[in-house]
Structure formats: structure tokens, C-alpha cells
Structure 1
Amino acid sequence: MPSLPVERITPFDPPPELAQLRATSPLTRLRYPDGHLGWLVTGYHMARQVLSDPRFSARSQLKRAPTVRPGIEPFYRAPALPGWLVDMDAPEHTRIRRQLAKAFTAHRMRSLRPRIEAIVSDRLTAMGEAGDPADLVESFALPVPSLVICELLGVPYTERTTFQRDSATLFSLEATAEQAVRAMADLEAFLTDLTASKRRRPGEDLVSTLATDGELTTAEIAGVAALLLSAGHETTANSLGLGVFALLSHPDQLARLTAEPGLADTAVEELLRYLTIFHFGVPRTPLEDVPLAGEVVRAGEAVTVSLPAANRDPQRFAGPDLLDIGRRQGGHLAFGHGVHQCIGQNLARAEMRIAFPALFQRFPSLRLAVSPEQVPLGRDNGFYGVHRLPVRWS
């Protein structure tokens, strides 16, 4: 009985065993670290089916981690924390998501574009003034989404050291249960105080809007803000850092992007598909017996949907293991699918569509300052990426 494959041979490709399993069946048995026998979904069409089927629950009480991750133990097999809608089903999930939806529309993200452009420009200027070599993660990939999500939520950027540390702990595979509980408590205490202050003196930010609408409790607002703040900068930071590494490692694709800036939108979609940083998959649990692929997934049996495997499925994407920034095949699952599809996806897209072209326009000779083998990969995190990306341009 296989456990979840996690060992990569190359930096940008999922573990090869995932493709081998998918070639046999889109649904295979999976042994979880606690000994539980559940299921692994590797096929694209079955992934969409499971993620859109309300019979498969997202409730944290039912979830199991497919990898050894001590920091998740206090939060799985337990009721969802207030506001953590990713761990809820309807109607609670629906109620909370409805309050957030208006802040993350495509129209609202377009209205944020000038501010995102200014943040990107400021970071590139600072990076240039500091000179090379530089760590692209520290200088650019991390501060850009951190600044953007702080402004959207109304969180002072001066608090970045604290929330970045707590977020890193929550997503680390190496954090202990005690460390994760402490990080969550610190993050939510900080955001509870922030919510209270926004109720007294509201601004134009999302936390102020939620605090004055009166639809969510203080604990729910703090929880929502913790989720958006932590996931909102970690995901995009990893996508930017790993995306730059991928483009530098595929000079033909980088040349296309710099020669044709109009490809930015499709390039971002292709990088999201090709890299799929949520690399351990999405957990779901059937509430009743469900027939799938000639099998019966019993109620209560854990299911892990492998997004990287689904996004490399040759039955959906031609030449799926090739990075092609001109690819017109949409519909990737990097943001998930169904009612739990990432609510911040339009924000992430806006940041990446602005950041990639601007970076290579400002530094057309950008290149790695170390050999590719020396780039430290983020295998020890719930989001795959690079810990550092040393670069030069002069």
C-alpha cells in the first residue's frame, strides 16, 4: 500500500511516482502516516469531480494529513477555528465566504492594479539601489505580496516580522504541535486587537468593512484575517520565487515573455499549472459511500486530491510536463476547484501578472548567482517554493 510520494527528482516536476499511479488509475489506495487507509486522486477529471461534490467534506474534524506534519495535529480531527472557512462546509462556509466575496472580485482586483504596480516598482528600485547579488525572495518575492495583503486587510506592514514568522510556523512540516498552537494564538490575538481598533476607527480596508458590517463575530473576523494574511502572502511569495527560478531555468520561455509582454496572462496561468505549489494535495472526506472509478470510497475514508498530479494529466493537457507560456489550455487546478476554490486567486493573478514582466524589464540580464543545484528548495513547507533565490544582474 503506497504512501504519498514526496521525493522530487527535479525542482519543477512532481514526484515521478504520481504519474505512474495516475497512468494506472486516477484513484488509488493511500496509506496515511497514522496507518489509516484512504485514497489518492491523481487524475484531472476525477479531481474536479471530488472537489465539486458536496458529499466530500472539507470539515477539519474529518481531515487527515497525507504527510507527517506535527503542526497540523491540533487543527485536524478538531472543529474548525472561527473564520477558517477552508475547514468548513455549508452553511457556515457559505455564510463567511459571502462576506468576503465582494472584496475579491476581478473588478476589485483591477482597481488595485495601480497600487500593486507602485509596490512592485518600489521594491525593484530598492533592490537595484542595494545592488547585487541579492536574494530575490527577501528583496522582492516576499515583500510584494506581504505589502499588498497588508494594505488590503489594513494590517500595519511594520508587523511583518511577527506575522511572517507565525505564518512560516503554521505551514512548516517541521513545526511541533506546541509551536503551531502558539503561532496561531499569537496571530489571532494580534488580529483580534486589530479588529477591535478598526471597530473604533474604521478605514477603507477589509478588516474595517467586516468589523463595521456586523455580520461576523470578532473571533471570525480575526480568523478570516489570519487565514488571508498567512496564506495570502505565503502562496504568492512562493509562486513568484519559484516562478522566477523556473523562467531562469527555461531561457527560451523567458525570452518569449520579454519579447512578448502580452503573454504575461498566459505565462502566469502556465506557471501556476506547471509548478502547482500546493504540492501535498487537498484533503476531503466522504460523508457517505461514493462510487468512483470502479471503487467504492466509504464514508469516513480520507481522500487526498493531488493537485500537482492533476495539473500534469496528459488526458487534459497536451505535453503536460513542458513549460509553455503560450499555452492556451486553461482550467488548471492550482487554486483548487468548487466552492472552496481559493478566494484570493484574482489577487494572486494580479500580483504575478504585474511582477514577472516588471522584474525582467527592470533587470533584463537577471540570472542566478549560484548553480541551480545550490538553490534551496522549500520541501519542508506546505507550499512548495524556494527558501532563497540568489540572483545577479550586473
Structure 2
Amino acid sequence: MDSTTPRPEILDTAFPWPRPPIDPPPAYDWLRENEPIHQVATAGGGKAWLITRYDDVRAILSDPRVSSDSQNPGFPRFGSMPEPEDQRLFLRMDAPQHTIFRDLLAKNFTLSAMKRMRPAIQELVDDTIDTMLANPDRKADFVESLALPIPSTVLSWLLGVRAEDRAFFNSAADRALAATDPTNPAALDIAMTAMHELRAYIRSIAEERAALDDPGDDIMGQLVGAARAGEITMMDVENSGFLLIIAGHDTTTNMTALGTYTLLQHRNQWDEMRNNPALVRNAVEELLRYLTVVHLVVLRVATEDIEIGGVTIEAGDSIIPLNLAANRDDAHFPGADQLDIHRKARDHFAFGHGVHQCIGQALARLELQVIFETLTRRVPTLALDADSADLPFKRWSGINGLFSMPVTW
């Protein structure tokens, strides 16, 4: 973007701003070129520093002088109050508390664990595609038919929850994170109701496990076992299960739908993947970079004064490292606004960076690799069955995606 481009008027409105269906808000480009460290007013009534350049985002996310603790008064707010201390998710904690939960859960997401899961995920993807293709009209809602059920089923395996409950937490998780449109006065009430429903569900599962002599070796069983050993509390079990449902379900669902939409808009690259499956791993990394669906979740607060880019961020200031802006930084990814499945983009920030980098990233990568390889091979004629302008994108959600996507084949 030319540095002479006029200053966007939206900079004077409360953050966050709605994003276009795929690309970042245009103001991100202007900020990266002109004011890469910029303070804005937020919808929560405070102020926050936006960080937009790749190198600066990396530096902030690596800096021990920044905190992820949501109980800190300077933590960024978008109109919501901080959650009660006993309901805080480990995503919003610092060491040593954060470390306890990562150590408890990490063994479920190792590369060797993913290798063991791959055959089951491949079978699940094939079965789900079989069901979709069985429609004699050769039409389906891609989100409902494929993008939602695959991640939720995999999550049910990991958590050890009842398969018959998948429809419930599909709906509740979707309402909890997608009902964030500030133009809709009922949005917050919808989201809070869904979150309470999810918490009550996880609580019931935790209580069932706690009543057993052996709580099991799935994630819920491991968490209940840690509570019995005094390492964490039963409320921590509930909080962790709740976070895993949100993080493991909504993110991969939206990435599957939006990634498929994007590939269908770049048909030559869809065809390249079909003809050369070896490209799929690289393509997944590029789609993660290009789309950065999780773009308003990485939030921080300074615990000491930090000088970066010639600007001093004072202790107690809110910080929003814009991973979406960083992943579109031409200085690090030349031609960043172009999708290129040949690009080596593994160092993107779609999963964050540093000690709070997404614990489930290996699982997300595995699911996406299997889904896109199988789709391009088995459904090569897949196509949108609607005008792009009519698709319901999640323009106000902290996790970008699609509510539905009609397809044909």
C-alpha cells in the first residue's frame, strides 16, 4: 500500500473493526506501512496498542514482559467483563499456572499421538464424504455436512464424551463464539447462554468420571485424575474441557469451511493439489497464513515498560498483536496478499507464537491435511452453489468463518 494513502477514518472508531470475508480490514495495511505501533480505543471503553508488522508481533509474543493473564486490569476488553477467577481458562494464565495445564495436556497432541490417530481420522473423513455424496440432488451445506461433524467427532474421541451429544455442542459452541456482532443487541446474551450450556455439559461429564473408580485415560479422565491427585481443582477440569471444545471445534470447523471456499476461488491451486497430493502439507500452511481465522484471540498486557518500533508501551497497557496483519506482511511473506500453495509459510502466526502457542496445532494440521487431500481426490468437481456475495461470513467473530456454504459436485 502506498504510504500516501489517506489515513482511514475507521481508525477513529472503536476496535475491533469488521473484517472482509477473507482479507484483513484495509486499515491493517495502512497501519503496517505508516503507524505499525498504534493505540486505538476499544469497544470495552479502554485503549490498546495494535501491533501490525511481522517482526514486531514476533517480538511481543516472545517478550517475558507481556502477560496473558485476563485478570490483569490492563488486559484488552471488547465490551465484556473479566470472567470470575474460578472460571479463567488456562489460555488466559501465565506461568506457573499455565505450565501445569500445558504439561497435563501436551501428551495428547504429540506428533506420535497424531500418527496413531491418522487412520481413524482418514476413515472418518471418508465416511463423512460418503454421506454427503449420497444426496441424490448432488447438493449440500458444506458446513453442516462436513466442516462441523469432523472436528466435533475427533474432539469427542479425545475428550471421551458421548457421541450422541455432538449435535448439542456443535450448536452451543457455534453460538458461543459466533454471536459477537456488536450491531446485534442480543448477541452477548446469546453467547453467554451458549457458554453456560457448554459449561453445564462439561461439568456433568466431569462429575460422572469423578464417581468412577477409574476415570479413564482420555483427556477428561486425565484431568479428573489430576484433580484427585491435588494438582488441579474440579473447576479446572470444567474450564479445561470447555476451552478444548471451543478451541478444538470452532477453529478447525471454520478453517475447513473457509479454506475450502478459498481453494474453490483459486481453482488452479485446487487442481494442483488434486494432481500432486504432496502439495497438501504445504498448502495447509499457506491457507493457515493467508486466512488466519483466529485473529482476535491473541491478547496481551504489558507488565513493564517496553520500547518497540520507537514507541514506548507502558506497564499496564493493553496490547493486541495482530497476527492477521503480521501474516500479510510483505516484508516477511513477499506477495502476502496472494495465495500460493508453493510458499514456505510454516513460520506463520495462525497458531500464535511463544509459550502460549496453540497446544492442539498438530491435530489441526492433521485434520486439515486429511480433509483437503481427500476432498480434492474424491470430489474434484466440488463447487460453490451460491454467489460469494450471498454467503454468510462471520465478519464480527474473533474466529473468522462461514455459518453455511452451499455446494454442488
TM-score range, shorter chain: over 0.9
CA distance in 1, matches of 2:85, 2:190: 19
More displaced, 180-189 or 337-346?
180-189
2:142 aligns with 136
**In 2: Cα distance, 1:336 partner to 1:16 partner:** 22
Tell me, yes or no, if structure 1 residue 55 matches structure 2 residue 65: yes
Q: Which amino acid aligns with 1:311?
A: N
> Match of 1:60, SS?
coil
Secondary structure in structure 2 of the residue aligned to 1:119? helix
Aligned identity (percent) is: 38
Gaps of 5+ in 2: 1-10
Cα distance in 2 for residues equivalent to 1:292 and 1:275: 26
Give the TM-score normalised by the residue count of structure 1: 0.93
TM-score by length of 2: 0.89
Aligned length: 386
Tell me if structure 1 keeps the 8 A contact 2:297–2:398.
no
Give the structure 2 partner of residue 113 of structure 1.
118
Tell me, yes or no, if structure 1 residue 282 matches structure 2 residue 298: yes
The equivalent position to 1:186 in structure 2, one of 197, 215, 218, is 197
- Is residue 165 of structure 1 aligned with residue 171 of structure 2? yes
- 1:364 alignment counterpart: 380
- The answer on whether the counterparts of 1:141 and 1:241 sit within 8 Å (CA) in structure 2 is yes
Query: Residue in 1 aligned with 2:104?
Result: 99
1:212 matched to 2:225: yes
Q: Is the 8 A contact 1:270 1:323 kept in 2?
A: yes
- Matched residue SS, 2:85: coil
SS of the residue aligned with 1:391? Answer: strand
Deviation at 1:177, TM superposition (A): 4.6
Cα deviation for residue 158 of structure 1 reads 1.3
Moved more, 144-153 or 282-291: 282-291
1:40/1:24 Cα in 2 relative to 1: closer, same or farther (>3 Å)?
Answer: same
Contact conserved, 2:49 with 2:320, CA < 8 A, in 1? Answer: yes
Is the 2:24–2:324 Cα contact (8 Å) retained in structure 1?
yes
Shift of 1:370: 1.2
1:39 aligned residue (49, 55, 62): 49
Amino acid at match of 1:293: G
Query: What does residue range 206-355 of structure 1 map to in structure 2 within 5 Å?
Result: 206-213=219-226, 214=229, 215-280=231-296, 282-355=298-371
Alignment of 1:11-90 (within 5 A): 11-62=21-72, 64-65=75-76, 67=78, 73-75=80-82, 78-79=84-85, 81-82=87-88, 84-90=89-95
- Give the distance between the partners of 2:192 and 2:387, measured in 1 at CA: 38
Deviations 1:332-381 (A, max 9, x none): 00000111111111110000000011012111111111122222111132
CA distance, structure 1, for counterparts of residue 286 and residue 248 of structure 2: 20
CA distance 1:343–1:36, change in 2 (3 Å): same
- Where do 1:194-205 residues align within 5 Å? 194-199=205-210, 200=212, 201-205=214-218
Q: Return the letter of the residue paired with 2:61.
A: L
